[in-house]
Each structure stands twice: as C-alpha cells, then as structure tokens.
Amino acid sequence: MNVYDGQRMTELLEAEGMTAVAEGESADLVVLNTCHIRERASEKVYSDIGRIVKRAGADKPLIAVAGCVAQAEGREISARAPAVDIVVGPQAYHRLPALVAEAAGGKRALDTDMPLVSKFDLLPARRRQGPSSFLTVQEGCDKFCTYCVVPYTRGAEVSRPWAAVIDEAKALVDAGACEITLLGQNVNAWTGEDEAGRMQGLDGLIRALDRLPGLARIRYMTSHPNDMTDGLIEAHRDVEKLMPFLHLPVQSGSDRILKAMNRSHDSESYARIIDKVRIARPDIAISGDFIVGFPGETDAEFEDTLKLVERIGYAQAFSFKYSPRPGTPAATMDDQVPPAVMDERLQRLQGALNRQQHAFNDTIFGRTISVLIERDGKKPGQRIGKSPWLQSIVLETDAPVGTLLDVTIVSSGPNSLNGVAAPQLERLYVA
Ligand code: 5AD
Ligand code: SF4
C-alpha cells in the first residue's frame, strides 16, 4: 500500500509541475513514505533523515515525512529531527502541495487529520502505468489485533465506492496496465453498492473487473480470514483472470495465542478456509504472515505454529519477530519473550517456510506457464516477469514489457526461476 500511496503522491506533485529525480540525485523536496508496523521500519526514517541532511550539506532539501510514522508521532518527529519540514499522515496526503507551499515559506507544516472527504476524490487521474498496477479499494482496519498499530494509524475500515474503483481500474488499463492488484489492509472486507444499487462484496468487484477489456490478471491483498466469504472463494473457481494466489495471514498456530492476539479465528477455522479455497481452485498458492514471540508464547505454542505450517503447505510467507508497538495492548502484556528465543523461533520457522517454498517451486519445473513480462533484467536481452503464482521468472526474450508469454521453467536462481520462451524451446529442441 505504501508503494501505491507513493505513486499517488508522485502524480500529485507532478501535476504541480515537479519532476521526480532518481535516487541519489539532488532534489528540492524529499518525501519519506514511512511504515510504523514494526519498530525497525519505524526507526529507519530517522537514519534516512540523517543521511539526507549529511549528503545535502548547506543545501538541505525540504523534507516531508509521510505515512504511518507521521500519523503516529505527529509533531514529535520535528522535535526529534528538526530537519523535517512537513509531517503528513496517510489520509491527508492530498494536501501535500499546500503543505509544501507552507514549508517553502519557512513554516513547519503538519496535517494528520483523517478527513471525512476521501483523499482519493482530490487526487489527479491515473496515468503512465507499468503492466502491473496497484489499486487501493479499501483502507483501515476495525479488527484491533492486540499487537498491531494499523487501526490507529490508518483509521477505521473504509471502502472506496464501486464507481470510483471501476473508473480507476479503467484509467489504469488505458494507461497500460494488464494486471491489477486490489489493495486494502483488509481488502476482502470491501463492500459497496454496484451501479444497480445492489450490495456487493470484493467478489462482485472482481467479477465486474473480469469484464474489463484489456485486463488480463486480477489479484487482491491483504485478506483477513474472517472476511473470506463463500462468494470470494467461488470467484477463485469461476474467474479465470483471478490469479491462483491467496495471501491469508494467520500469525500463529496456537489457539491460546490467537485469542490473546484478538484474531477471532482459530487454527482449525483457518485451515478449513484453506481447504475450501483449494477445492475451488486446486492449483492455488497459499501465502501467509506469521509473528513469533508474541508475549507469553511458550515453546509448545510455537510448535503449534510449525504444525500448522506443515498442515497448510505455504508457497511463500512473511514471518516476523514480535515488535512491541506503543499504544497497543500487547506492548504492556506480561511475559515478553526474550530476543534470543525469538531469534531461534524465527530461524526455525523460516527454515520450514523456505523448504515449503522450494518444494512449491519444484512443482513448476518443466511446465510451460503464462508469464507477464514486467521489466528488463540486469543483463542485456533479459526480462523479468511474474508467474500466475507470483514467482519472479527470468528469461531472455525480445518480447516487450507488458506481454503475456508462454514460458517453460527450466531451473531456479536464488530468488527467482529461470525460463525459456516456449517457441524458443521448440526451436532448441528441433535443432
Ligand atoms: N510485530 C511484529 N509483526 C507485526 N505485524 C503487525 N504488527 C506486528 C508487530 N507488532 C505483522 C503481521 C501482519 C504484517 C503486515 O505485519 O504479521 O500481518
Ligand atoms: Fe493489524 Fe491486520 Fe489485525 Fe488489522 S487485521 S489489526 S491490519 S494485523
């Protein structure tokens, strides 16, 4: 979502006549779009500010801190880092041009409001897209997991209206997108009325986008198990453009910990959802998020997480050490887990998840699959694309970026798979 917000801020500032410069070039304005989810992400902004100030010397650019650190820390940011001129929260970034003007006049500018009028209505139209685009359809969270800052930094769950989403999707396709990833902190909590006044869920939106000419692939992220409706599961069965990939965070395999996290699902109900999704779409790749070392997590409870991982079989996953966040209930819970224990648990979990990822990738070897070419690779003639299961595929081809190509997967690299464009393979074989 921060990538999406970053693009929208760039478009907004470009509409004001500004030009983006490459990283490392001197800029008049630097916008740091920040994440507050874990302490490490949050602290990074201060080291980044230090680096910018040092590099610029006497010619310091205007510095804006945007995103969730801005929302959470507000004025404290300028107290800790006086070089910061602008602080703007994630629901107020449509005001960036006005804040830049204030700051250019020598004032400190701050806006962390969560206005009732959506910022989306005030942003310029989308243009100039790569083949794969993000589209925020939902923001905020009402779930209040006890470890998480999102409900405080992004605010309550809000769905963008049907027509706004469809219009933005059309604009993205007109601007060159052939894949759209619908985004939201709880994207599957999206609801809205369609043009006929019927209430729809995310599945209705996906079925409408399925009818959009020029759009080849649809994805969505991130989902909550509680909002995984039967309708959405059926969309995985019916909508061919909906890619066979589901990112469904579970956080822990221990029911006691899930309860303490206020997750409102248990390991069994999570596993049942995955079973249903697999019946609907047997080749679906499952991805997840995990937290190790939540306060009070015992060895046996951590083992329950490993057991759940074995039961599900993940194609990929993200796993994190629990990070106490200011203002969240878990931060003041007893029995915080020592860092060394968290390190050991994270290593074991990531070992298991990596093995599963390799096993999943092995199932693709030798197969000819559809790859969306997204960008040039490092070497001349090389292109990088994505498989339906979100794997990065490296191949040599002169097919332009934005092409969907049949590719045979021949080997694996450290973070990607290597493929050969299918007609090329035929030629090799004949020779
Ligand atoms: N500590 C560690 N990980 C966290 N996440 C959210 N809050 C925390 C925290 N306090 C993780 C969850 C979530 C992902 C986006 O970040 O796994 O799904
Ligand atoms: Fe945070 Fe996700 Fe829980 Fe919401 S559902 S509180 S965003 S982890």
Q: State the pLDDT at residue 152.
A: 94
295 and 165 in a common domain: yes
75 and 29 in a common domain: yes
Question: Cα(68) to centroid of ligand 2, in Å?
Answer: 14
Buried b (16+ CB within 10 A) or exposed e, 133-160: bbbbbbbbbebebbbbbbbbbbbebbbb
Range of weakest confidence among 120-124, 205-209, 302-306, 336-340? 120-124
Above 70 in pLDDT, residue 267? yes
DSSP states of 148-198 as a string? --HHHHT-S-EEPPHHHHHHHHHHHHHTT-SEEEEE-TTGGG-EEE-TTS-
Per-residue confidence band for 305, with pLDDT thresholds at 50, 70 and 90: very high
% pLDDT > 70, the chain: 98
Above 90 in pLDDT, residue 26? no
Residue 121 CB partners (closer than 8 Å, separation 6+): 164
Nearest atom, ligand 1, residue 323 CA: 1
Domain presence at residue 427 = no
Above 50 in pLDDT, residue 431? no
70 and 88 in a common domain: yes
Question: Cα(261) to centroid of ligand 2, in Å?
Answer: 10
Ligand 2 pocket, residues with Cβ under 6 angstroms? 141, 143-145, 148, 150-151, 185-186, 224
CB 421 within 8 A of CB 369: no
CA distance 42 to 175: 34
Give 132-188 pLDDT, tens digit per residue.
Answer: 999 999 999 999 999 999 999 999 999 999 999 999 999 999 999 999 999 999 999
Residue that terminates a domain, selected from 78, 111, 144: 111
Ligand 1 pocket, residues with Cβ under 6 angstroms? 37-38, 147-148, 249, 251, 289, 291, 320, 322-323, 325
Question: Cα(232) to centroid of ligand 1, in Å?
Answer: 24
pLDDT (mean) for 112-141: 86
pLDDT, mean over the chain: 94
DSSP 76: H
> Which residue's CA lies nearest to atom 16 of ligand 1?
37
Residue that terminates a domain, selected from 111, 145, 165: 111
> Which residue's CA lies nearest to atom 5 of ligand 2?
143
163 and 99 in a common domain: no
320 and 283 in a common domain: yes
Give 58-83 pLDDT, tens digit per residue.
Answer: 889 999 999 999 999 999 999 999 99
131 and 259 in a common domain: yes
Per-residue confidence band for 397, with pLDDT thresholds at 50, 70 and 90: very high
Q: What is the CATH number of the domain that holds 394?
A: 2.40.50.140
Q: State the pLDDT at residue 119.
A: 86
316 and 218 in a common domain: yes
What is the CA 408 to chain-centroid distance, rounded?
28
Q: State the pLDDT at residue 56.
A: 86
Domain presence at residue 260 = yes
Record the pTM.
0.94
Residue that terminates a domain, selected from 111, 146, 161: 111
Above 80 in pLDDT, residue 217? yes
Domain presence at residue 431 = no
Provide the number of structural domains found in the chain: 3
pLDDT (mean) for 275-283: 98
179 and 41 in a common domain: no
CA distance 8 to 27: 18
Q: State the pLDDT at residue 117.
A: 74
> Which residue's CA lies nearest to atom 1 of ligand 2?
148
Question: Cα(418) to centroid of ligand 1, in Å?
Answer: 32
Per-residue confidence band for 20, with pLDDT thresholds at 50, 70 and 90: very high
CB 186 within 8 A of CB 223: yes
Above 70 in pLDDT, residue 428? no
% pLDDT > 90, the chain: 87
Domain presence at residue 430 = no
48 and 105 in a common domain: yes
Q: What is the CATH number of the domain that holds 297?
A: 3.80.30.20
C-alpha closest to that of 271 among 302, 248, 244:
248
Question: Cα(311) to centroid of ligand 1, in Å?
Answer: 22
Domain residue limits at 136 = 119-362
Mutate to test the pocket of ligand 2, among 35, 38, 143 (most ligand atoms within 8 A of CB): 143
Question: Cα(146) to centroid of ligand 2, in Å?
Answer: 9
CB 135 within 8 A of CB 5: no
329 and 216 in a common domain: yes
Above 90 in pLDDT, residue 423? no
Q: What is the CATH number of the domain that holds 32?
A: 3.40.50.12160
Above 70 in pLDDT, residue 425? no
402 and 347 in a common domain: no
Question: Cα(249) to centroid of ligand 2, in Å?
Answer: 9
pLDDT (mean) for 215-237: 97
